[in-house]
A and B are shown apart, each in its own frame.
Chain A
């Protein structure tokens, strides 16, 4: 089944404790992206990656890191989480051919609480 998977789905942690949220897709997609969704602020893009080893900042990259060492995986790293990073996080991927981005497929979301 074609899908984007995220782990963990739920996470409660404490301020300053490094964490990684994994994202994996099995569709051989070139493009991957991370978003956070907050009430009243909607979905905002954190980072995106056009291909392996190519990443770019979205609108809210502060406090986050990403890496794209393989096409299928795009982990989101919070080196020192703070309470303002409490949010619902989504990973997405899409096929990209010759400049035409295709439909984005979203993962189920990771609900992160930082105490």
Chain B
């Protein structure tokens, strides 16, 4: 079973600083990995999806990398803004069970003005 871990559980940074969020997974046979954002009391919004054949994906200020050999994915958010305050979750699925998703517990981010 794929285990997904996110450290730290919470992070506070001043506005303008770059954010680095980590996601570790135990099964290197990862099929794809997705990053989501969740605002309090709301559903999840997809940020980036990385297929197993890819090393990174970019969208605006966001960049996500995937290193299967080390079992890690990193989400970078450049020049953070107060609007980036939210909980960020990663979720992975494996090649032998690619409909089955394992989520990390999330990193709660606060960007202070």
Tell which of A31, A48, A59, A90 touches B43, judged by Cβ atoms closer than 8 Å.
A90
Tell me what chain B mostly uses at the interface: helix, strand, loop, or mixed: strand
A58 near B34 with CB under 8 A, answer no
Number of chain B residues close to chain A: CB under 8 A: 24
B42 near A100 with CB under 8 A, answer no
- Note all chain A residues with C-beta closer than 8 A to B91: 43, 104
Closest to A43 in B: B103
Q: Give 1 or 0 for each of B62-92: 1 = CB within 8 Å of chain A CB.
A: 0000000000000000000000000001010
Hey, which bits of chain B sit against chain A, CB under 8 A?
Answer: 1, 31-32, 34, 36, 42-46, 49, 51, 89, 91, 93, 98-106
Give 27 pairs: A residue, B residue, CB < 8 Å, sorted on A. A35-B103, A40-B105, A41-B105, A42-B104, A42-B105, A43-B89, A43-B91, A43-B103, A45-B101, A48-B101, A56-B100, A58-B101, A59-B100, A59-B102, A90-B43, A90-B44, A101-B31, A103-B46, A104-B34, A104-B44, A104-B101, A106-B36, A106-B43, A106-B45, A107-B43, A109-B42, A109-B43
